[in-house]
Every structure is written in C-alpha cells, then in structure tokens.
Structure 1
C-alpha cells in the first residue's frame, strides 16, 4: 500500500501521518506480526487525530488484512503489506459521476432504517457534525465535517452492510478528483444551501418523518449533482 493510497482513506494530516506510520512500521518489521498496537485513545493523542479518524485508518488496514481486531483484547498486526500497488485500484477506478449515480440510488433508502433504529446518541452526533461544518473556516474543514455527518447517518442505520457500502463511498469522496470538483463548485451560497438541507434532513429524522427525510436527501443529492457537473 503506497503513501498515495494511504492518503485516499483519510482527510486530516494527523490521520494521514498515522496511516503512513503504521504501514511503514509494519512493512519494515518494527511492528512485527502478532504485535499489539497502542489503544485508539493513545494513537489519537499521539497523532492529533480524532478517534473517528483513527478508527477509519484501522478499519482500512483491517480491510487490507494488515491488522486484526479482537474484542476485549485489542488490535494486532496480522500481515506485512504486499509490495505491489494492486490494492486500492478498484476504488481509484470509480469516477465522481459514478459515485453520484450510486448515491442517488442508495442514500434515499437510509431514512427507513434511521427512523426505526436511530438513537438519541446518533442524533446528537449528527447535530455536532452540522454545528462543526457550519463553523468551518475552510473548504477542507467543511468537507471533513460533511463526511463525518455522512458517517453518522451510516452508523444510525445500525446495519453493518449499509455501513460498509457507505464507507466505500466515503473513500471515493476522499480521492483528489472529487475534492477538486467540490472545491471549484462550492460557493458560499451553495454551502449555505447544503447546510440548510443538512439541518432539514436531521430534523426530519429526529421527528421519525421518513417521507420528508427521503425527499430532502433526494433534493440534496440532485443539487450536488447539478453543482458538480452542471446537470
């Protein structure tokens, strides 16, 4: 797994540094197979990365077979990375246009699960993400919390299969091409529209109003599609 591939699964500098560190230390044998990794809290503090970012890094390494996580015991090195850059090609081949097509099919289905299984803690996390995104000073910071909101929506479904599908969508969103399109298209007026749509969506989910939530998601995604691609 190359440094470029590492950078595609995380946004913040701290998380990127953590990913690079773990891959390099596992590759050179400093962290040998069977070695237990530090706890998430320790990694978060050491690399100045959020606990969520640390979990995303560990989740990516786990999906590539480099680490294993044992409930109640911790996280352990499981294998040494292959030297070939084959891993990650599938994600790299997904275009922003293809991602939008898939999101328009998948994400309007989320409210049916969230209104059934969403908890007060889930909704509190959504509110936090919205507040942080509205306070963001840069496009990168706004994108980080926008992504965190999508992650919170996925978690609120309490469906692991759906969560994995949306995690793949997040990885595609973190590719350079998506970021360049978003940066060019995100005017202050459009950002305000996105924030209003996020608020309306979360409020509808809190009210267990599936129909309104679905409508807001569809309008939001169609707005993004028009802004990105002029459709």
Structure 2
C-alpha cells in the first residue's frame, strides 16, 4: 500500500472514530448539554481526520440534533440533547445497508425522479445542478469528486420538490459516506471512468433541462448501471 493510500485510509478511519467518540460521549453525558466541543483543527489532529471529514461529522451530528454551531463562537452540545439522544442509537442501527443494496435501490428510486423534475424543476434547481457538475469536474481528489457527485444526485432529488425523495436521497448520502462505499469507489474510479461519469452527468442535466422525461430516465438508468458494473465488476 502506498503512503498516500495509507494516509487516506487513516483519515477515513479517523472520521469514523471521531463520530463514534462524539456520539458516545454525548449519549453518556460526559459531554454535557451546553458544553463546547474542541475546535475543528484540534479534532482533526487528535483523530487524524481531514478538516473536511471533521466538518461532515459535525454536520451529521447537527442534523441529528446533538450539537449546535455558531459562527464565531464554536460548536456546542445541544441544550435539548437529553430528548434527542435516545433516538440516535436507533437511527444509527437502522442504517445497515450494503453498497450492493444501495445500488439496487438507487436504480429503482432515482429513475423515477425525472417524472417530477421535468414538471417542477426551476431555474435555481438547474443552476445548482450545473454548479455540482462544474465542481465535480474541477475536483482534484476522489473524495472531492465523490462529494460533488453525491451533491448532484441530491440536487436531482431537490428538483422533484417532493419531500419523500429528499428524505430518501439524504439517507443515500449517509450510506455513501460509510467506509465500504468509499473503498469500492476508490478502487473502481479510474480517470477514464471518471470522464465517462462527467459526460453522463452533463447529458442527464441537459435532458432534464429540455424536459425530456424518457431520455433523462434512460440516461440516469444507464449511468447507475455503469456505476454498478464498475463497483462490483459485473458485466
């Protein structure tokens, strides 16, 4: 294993360790309501996690209601954490989905989104899709590309203007952040495949912008099938 690959692996493990540590400390009361968390830099150094990974961990905990963040003041354990914490363990245990199961579900779910996108998507929705594409194409690391790839598919869900699709894609994003998905993606994402994904992304957005439901649905299906083949070596 090269030093660069090893370091990325350490950072991924560090992020998972950080998330586990914070949840356990908050649930046990060792980190009490209102208590200030260490700075992002300190957490990054202590757990050997990238600053971006630390921010994602904190963002997830904020969405769970375990912490609050204030610009200029820092990150704090939420005041109502005693009411929120009991539901966190149930939520975490409920998300035990393998990458293979995730891809099967995505093929069923995401191919249905064009029906609503072509009817309800706004100019702002398409601007967000374009931004995700531009940022993914400019990404210099696999992690950065994967982030904006996920953000694009999240933008598709937002463009349906349907809360159920949004919840499903939020769960998809949560699963994609797990270590097994990241390992498979790193092993499968060659420069050639990345270029193919970028072309496919632009074609999908163009078809949606043209309000062509059938073409956009076919393109999304073809894209997800290729991702599935690349991840799992299927013909």
Fold conserved (TM > 0.5)?
yes
Q: Distance in 1 between matches of 2:95 and 2:19?
A: 21
Question: Aligned pair in 2 of structure 1 residues 111, 20: CA closer, same or farther (>3 Å)?
Answer: farther
Identify which of 83, 90, 94 aligns with 2:94: 90
Q: Distance in 1 between matches of 2:161 and 2:226?
A: 27
Q: Which structure 2 residue ranges, 5 or more long, are not aligned?
A: 1-11, 45-50, 69-77
Q: 2:132 aligns with which of 129, 132, 143?
A: 129
Gaps of 5+ in 1: 1-10, 38-42, 69-75
**How many residues are treated as equivalent by the alignment?**
196
1:172 to partner: Cα distance? 1.1
Aligned to 1:4: none
Larger radius of gyration: 2
Is residue 152 of structure 2 the alignment partner of residue 149 of structure 1? yes
Q: How does 1:94-173 map to 2 (within 5 A)?
A: 94-173=97-176
Name the CA distance, whole Å, in 2 between partners of 1:114 and 1:20: 40
**1:182 equivalenced with 2:185 (yes/no):** yes
1:205 aligns with 208
Query: How far apart are residue 167 of structure 1 and its match?
Result: 1.0
Q: Quick one: structure 1 residues 230 and 22, their matched pair in 2 at CA, closer, same or farther if it must change by over 3 Å?
A: closer
Structure 2 vs 1, CA of residues 223 and 134 (structure 1 numbering), >3 Å: closer, same or farther?
same
Per-residue Cα deviation, 1:123-157 (whole angstroms, up to 9, x for no partner): 10110010000010110110011111111111111
Find the counterpart in structure 2 of residue 195 from structure 1. 198
Computed over aligned residues only, the root mean square deviation of the Cα atoms, in angstroms, reads: 3.5
Check whether the contact 1:122–1:152 (CA below 8 A) recurs between aligned residues.
yes
2:61 and 2:67 in contact (8 A); partners too: no
Secondary structure, aligned partner of 1:88: helix
Q: Is the 8 A contact 1:67 1:78 kept in 2?
A: no
Aligned pair 1:31/2:36, yes or no? no
- Take 1:84 and 1:120, find their aligned partners in 2: how far apart are those partners? 36
Partner of residue 72, structure 1: none
Secondary structure at the aligned position of 1:192 is classed as helix
- The TM-score with structure 2 as length reference comes to 0.70
Please identify which structure carries the higher helix content. Answer: 2
State the partner residue of 2:6. Answer: none
